């Protein structure tokens, strides 16, 4: 079967499969009422066969049969495009690709929350199908997923209680962590960078927690963001499909949050791939910045045009000390998000980041670089403890008769001089 034929079989109308030994499960009626159709049901004894035969668009599994759930999860993970797996009322640790859903009592509020979560997950499936189609059209092959999306995930941890350090360590072992000791600090991070989840720990009153969640639910940017709160749930429902409440040991809380975080990171990864395709493959999908080859070409052209028109042009080189690969990619994404539309940059093989500031003199470049560094320094990445990234920056500006190579050479000399001092 060709790649095109395989893609044509990825029907958006594949059924949503409910795994339940209750043939009259109210889930089917809820899916129909939410217009999430078609749907099908299978018992646990033939769940694996049903997934193989139907290749569903999503699987919702009722509680019980933990061993079968793990087998089912491994099978679901092989299907392309992405098939969300939601496990109701989980009683033990879930497979990595199984999203837990507590409190299912089949009343109106529970079913509304479940269908909202399912709808959000199905949007990721649609995005994955679109990405696969675009990749086939551009390259003629369907790629395999290169790495676990959680490796690229960054989560905001908010709290100021005794459990905060333990949560920070447990979370930092799995994903990148940005810490905030107040709601005000958290708001700044939410506005400055892309995040894949929020853990709201202890240290805040129920009124503050309720107000914070309400603000998130009213902002379209954060509505599908995974949010795990370690306090008891409020009495009134909050319209956030990926909101969970989890208490207990830090490792349990993080394990529960990870499937939703991984799904969101996968969605962000797909978005970057599509932007790269829109740019003709000139953007590096993991960073959103130019590939090194594209940067070299665009930088030479920018220098030529600036010389021809008499415009200003400056270049910044950010060197990230003690940064592991995850933090370098994350910092590059921060730069991609915050730099001006007229500017462009790249993540180099040595882990440094080059950014070209178009039509900008040295004073203006210093102002922009300080703003970027202020955000970088708030990023913490460590499995053992929070470590603030403390980048060094070198700046060079275009001189008469300069070439692109001459500007980069001055930056290299500045780096060497700083390292020796």
pLDDT, residue 388, reads 61
Over 80: is that where the pLDDT of 289 sits? yes
Instruction: Using alpha carbons, select from 355, 357, 298, 299 the residue that is nearest to residue 332.
Output: 355
Enumerate residues 6+ apart whose C-beta is below 8 A from 113. 101, 237, 241
- What's the whole-number average pLDDT of the chain? 86
Q: What is the rounded distance in angstroms from the CA atom of residue 179 to the CA atom of residue 76?
A: 34
- pLDDT grade, residue 386 (50/70/90)? very low
Over 90: is that where the pLDDT of 65 sits? no
- Give the global pTM: 0.86
Q: Average pLDDT in the 402-421 region?
A: 76
For 419, other C-beta atoms within 10 Å of its C-beta total 9
pLDDT, residue 213, reads 95
- pLDDT grade, residue 144 (50/70/90)? very low
Map out the domains of the chain with their CATH numbers.
3-144 (3.40.50.2300), 149-259 (3.40.50.2300), 280-420 (3.30.70.270)
Over 50: is that where the pLDDT of 382 sits? no
CA distances from 133 to 81, 127, 273 (A): 10, 10, 12
pLDDT, residue 321, reads 77
pLDDT, residue 346, reads 97
CA distances from 127 to 266, 273, 356 (A): 10, 11, 32
CA distances from 60 to 142, 375, 383, 389, 406 (A): 27, 40, 33, 41, 60
Composition of the chain by helix, strand, coil, percent to 5: 45, 15, 40
Instruction: Using alpha carbons, select from 236, 239, 202, 241 the residue that is nearest to residue 224.
Output: 241
Q: What is the rounded distance in angstroms from the CA atom of residue 315 to the CA atom of residue 366?
A: 10
Do the Cβ atoms of 151 and 116 come closer than 8 Å?
A: no
Q: Average pLDDT in the 217-241 region?
A: 90
Question: Which tens digit of pLDDT belongs to each residue from 68-89?
Answer: 899 999 999 999 999 999 999 8
Question: Which tens digit of pLDDT belongs to each residue from 365-379?
Answer: 999 999 888 878 766
CA distances from 217 to 29, 156, 214, 226, 227 (A): 26, 17, 5, 12, 11
Question: Which tens digit of pLDDT belongs to each residue from 95-141?
Answer: 999 999 986 666 677 888 899 999 999 999 999 999 999 998 877 44
Q: Average pLDDT in the 275-298 region?
A: 92
Q: What is the rounded distance in angstroms from the CA atom of residue 383 to the CA atom of residue 380?
A: 10
In whole angstroms, how large is the CA radius of gyration of the chain?
A: 24
Instruction: Using alpha carbons, select from 184, 196, 193, 194 the residue that is nearest to residue 158.
Output: 184
Which tokens is 86 given? 């939601």
- pLDDT grade, residue 6 (50/70/90)? very low
Q: What is the rounded distance in angstroms from the CA atom of residue 345 to the CA atom of residue 349?
A: 13
pLDDT, residue 123, reads 95
Over 50: is that where the pLDDT of 35 sits? yes
Q: What is the rounded distance in angstroms from the CA atom of residue 223 to the CA atom of residue 190?
A: 12
């Amino acid at each position: 079967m060709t790649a095109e034929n395989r893609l044509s079989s990825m029907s958006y109308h594949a059924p949503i499969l409910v795994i339940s030994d209750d043939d009259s499960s109210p889930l089917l009626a809820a899916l129909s009422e939410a217009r999430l159709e078609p749907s099908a049901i299978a018992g646990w004894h033939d769940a694996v066969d049903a997934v193989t035969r139907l290749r569903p668009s999503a699987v919702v599994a009722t509680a019980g049969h933990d061993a079968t759930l793990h087998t089912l999860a491994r099978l679901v993970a092989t299907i392309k495009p992405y098939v969300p797996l939601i496990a109701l009322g989980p009683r033990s640790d879930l497979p990595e690709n199984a999203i837990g859903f507590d409190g299912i009592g089949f009343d109106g509020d529970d079913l509304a929350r479940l269908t909202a979560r399912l709808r959000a997950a199905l949007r990721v499936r649609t995005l994955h199908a679109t990405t696969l189609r675009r990749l086939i059209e551009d390259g003629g092959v369907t790629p395999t997923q290169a790495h676990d999306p959680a490796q690229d995930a960054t989560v905001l941890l908010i709290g100021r209680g005794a459990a905060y350090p333990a949560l920070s360590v447990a979370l930092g072992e799995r994903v990148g962590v940005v810490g905030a000791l107040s709601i005000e600090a958290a708001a700044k991070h939410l506005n400055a960078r892309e995040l894949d989840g929020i853990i709201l720990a202890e240290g805040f009153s129920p009124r503050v927690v309720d107000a914070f969640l309400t603000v998130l639910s009213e902002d379209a940017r954060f509505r599908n963001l995974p949010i795990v709160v370690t306090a008891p749930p409020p009495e009134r429902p909050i319209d956030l499909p990926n909101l969970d409440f989890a208490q207990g040991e830090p490792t349990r809380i993080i394990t529960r949050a990870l499937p939703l975080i991984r799904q969101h990171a996968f969605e962000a990864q797909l978005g970057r791939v599509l932007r790269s395709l829109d740019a003709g493959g000139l953007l590096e999908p993991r960073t959103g910045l130019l590939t090194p080859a594209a940067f070299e070409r665009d930088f030479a052209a920018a220098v030529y045009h600036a010389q021809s028109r008499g415009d200003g042009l400056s270049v910044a080189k950010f060197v990230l000390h003690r940064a592991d690969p995850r933090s370098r990619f994350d910092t590059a994404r921060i730069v991609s998000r915050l730099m001006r539309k007229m500017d462009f940059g790249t993540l180099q093989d040595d882990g440094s980041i080059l950014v070209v500031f178009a039509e900008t003199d040295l004073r203006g470049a210093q102002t922009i670089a300080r703003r970027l560094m202020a955000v970088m320094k708030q990023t913490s990445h460590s499995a053992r403890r929070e470590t603030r990234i403390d980048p060094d920056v070198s700046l060079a500006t275009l001189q008469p008769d300069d070439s692109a190579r001459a500007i980069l050479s001055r930056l290299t000399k500045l780096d060497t001089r700083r390292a020796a001092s």
